[in-house]
Amino acid sequence: MKKFSLSKLAVVLSVLAAVLGVCISFVKSTVWWAGYDKQNCPGCRPIIDWSEETTNRTTAAVTSNHIRAFKKDGVVVLKSLISPSKVVDLATEVESMTDTFMTSVLTKTVLPSYRKYEHKLETRSEIIRDWAVHGPLAKWAADLMDVSEARLYNAEKIYSAGNDNPMGCNTAWHRDTLSSPFPTTAKSITINIYLDDIGADGPNGDALIYIKGSHNHLVSPPSDVTSSSDLLFEPILKVGDVLAHDAHVYHTPSGRGCWHRRSLQFRYVESPTRFTFAPNRFPNGPIPWTFAHAPNVAPHRLKEGSALEGPWYPMVYPKPLESEHVPIGGRAWSIIGVLGVAKQSLNIAADLGIGSNNCVVDHVVKEVEGYYPYFGFDGPVTSCENWEMVNQIPVHKDGQMVKNLQKMENNKNKSKE
């Protein structure tokens, strides 16, 4: 009887293990787990009439003045380029999309400043794919970058937590260089589409603000970001306006409006360029850019130094390639893969000795044709003298991220009291 019971228990446990394995396998195959649709929006085609924004315009959408301003300042606003009704339709589509792991888990654990975060939306929605791939955004991006070809490298939904942020309403000065999967020499741009009227101050506040020209000084973050700075750019935007910024420009949410900001960010890069996204970015691991770009985590199957191309990074200008509108072949991310990247990144930072007496950054870092090997929020990590570690994150001593982290830590301690 005892032998029979043990045998029966072994069978039950085996069945349970098999069922659990099947369940885990199923979950990992879902859009919820991946954060994108591996089928890559099958059957999606252009469905939006963009004639009001393109052929029916009486003036150029992007003028020579816009291009000069973007090149000089790293940021520009294109006023009233999109019909507000299209933005309303876009908002309706975005609100109807189900949350994935990115919102359900990631924002609640490591991204408390976000109420919702989703990426690679062009793989999940015909309307968003139309905006990102087929609509005029790609041409406007190419015009501002002054390039003949452009690729999409992400389409994100970013909703801020506003007053619900447990860390408090703060600035978070940074450059998008940290999360860009290509060399710093490549021209790139982020097209921000806000779903509501917004400015830097309340009641509809917390728009992105910028230090003009900071994209041209990549290794030195601006020391003056106060309201008195002549270089501070604080846009006031209406629905239908387009806010465009260079990936390298120093920017942040204003931290003053504390409002539930709703925005989409369409990110483009010139083509051709090459893929680079080694674990040389601090922080790394359970962070959006790791899921979006890191080899063996993101499904693009690209190797360091290979051409940036394929269905994960599709050509969008001068026209999309049908050969790239195909299912994404790589595997969805795994916990082991993400933790592996995090460990590699921490080991690299430790080996560099940032913030210690054993720092070797100066001996290791060598600029070659504008390529930098290590990145933090404030820009490329280039010297022992200027960089230190705060909460295991490298920050520039003269930058703003060190102040942001200290303020967030203070708010965290106050909340515990």
What is the model's pLDDT at position 237? 97
Which single residue is written with the structure tokens 């045998």? 7
Q: 3-class DSSP state for residue 384?
A: coil
Nearest-angstrom CA–CA distance, 34 and 258: 30
Q: Are 342 and 286 in contact (CB under 8 A)?
A: yes
Q: Is beta strand 188-194 parallel, antiparallel or unpaired with respect to 262-270?
A: antiparallel
E strands present in 7-111:
75-78
Spatial CA neighbour of 91 closest among 57, 55, 121: 121
What is the model's pLDDT at position 21? 46
What is the model's pLDDT at position 412? 62
What is the model's pLDDT at position 57? 86
Q: 3-class DSSP state for residue 66?
A: helix
Environment class of 14 (CB within 10 Å of its CB; exposed 0-12, middle 13-18, buried 19+): exposed
Write out the H or E segment, with its range, that includes residue 193.
Answer: strand 188-194
CA atoms within 13 A on the CB side of 302: 24
Nearest-angstrom CA–CA distance, 394 and 133: 35
- Ranges of residues in the chain whose predicted pLDDT is under 50: 1-4, 6, 9, 11-24, 26
Nearest-angstrom CA–CA distance, 360 and 379: 18
Q: Are 128 and 145 in contact (CB under 8 A)?
A: no
What is the model's pLDDT at position 411? 63
Q: Are 31 and 125 in contact (CB under 8 A)?
A: no
Strand order in the sheet with 251-253: 232-233, 208-211, 251-253
Give CA separation, 183 vs 111, 188, 310, in Å.
26, 10, 18
Q: Are 326 and 258 in contact (CB under 8 A)?
A: no
Nearest-angstrom CA–CA distance, 206 and 172: 11
pTM exceeds 0.95: no
What is the model's pLDDT at position 388? 92
What is the model's pLDDT at position 214? 96
- Measured in residues, the chain has a length of 417
